[in-house]
Homo-oligomer: A and B are copies of this chain.
Amino acid sequence: MKNYFNLLSSVQIFKGINEPELSAMLECLGAKKVNAAKGSFLLLAGEKAENVGILLSGSLQIIKENNEGERLILAALEPGQIFAEALCCAGITESPVSVMSTAESEVLLLKFSRILQSCSNSCEFHQKLLGNMLRLLAEKNLLLQGRIDLLGKGSLRSKVMSYLDSFESQKMPIRIPLNREELADFLCVERSALSHELSRMKKDGLIDYRKNEFYIL
């Protein structure tokens, strides 16, 4: 497990916990490393999530199938990210989503019940762990809230402005990390409709842009 220390120490859920403590904790938490072949599932919709997962290597997708059988990709996970934490914390008995490995992946599973209960060794870092967990959930909460604000905007134009405003703290050539198609997906609109609106906004003197460098005027 030690070869993953660098990665694990960068995982938000273990923030502020250093190596010797971490090793003890992993023991406490019933950590189990599993390998997932490409195309295999770490969690199926309908199951109960008993473990919080940490992706060590490879890649995962969080997938939701609607009643028409269409697969919607809710998120693509990279190494270091965690999954199923909200399901565990909420005690959901029938997961609405599945987790699929999209490559040969290594995953660390932590028993959620052990996260909650202070372990028999009563290791002093449970508190830190719980604080981290709270912070993670709360941050995601605020992130989701922001996304709802944005999606609730009536017009495509205000969605774009909201999106750009979310970078407000930074200096002006705003370099957005999404290409047009990804931005359109994020704003839940058509790519070409987005392009149309962007050029209208440029014509109206609201913004300027070249590829993914934007300026609010």
A85 to B138, CA, bound (A): 8
Which residue from B67, B131, B145, B153 sits with its C-beta under 8 Å from A144? Answer: B145
User: A114 at interface (Cβ–Cβ under 8 A)?
Assistant: no
Q: A143-177 vs B: 1/0 string, CB under 8 Å?
A: 01101110111100000000001000000000000
Nearest chain B residue, comparing its CB with the CB of A64: B149
A17 to B29, CA, bound (A): 25
Additional A-B contacts beyond A117-B127, A141-B141 (15; CB < 8 A)? A67-B165, A72-B149, A86-B138, A86-B145, A87-B138, A87-B142, A88-B138, A89-B134, A90-B142, A91-B135, A130-B134, A134-B137, A144-B145, A148-B151, A152-B188
Interface set of A (CB-CB < 8 Å, partner B): 64, 67, 72, 74, 85-92, 96, 116-118, 127, 130-131, 133-135, 137-142, 144-145, 147-149, 151-154, 165, 188
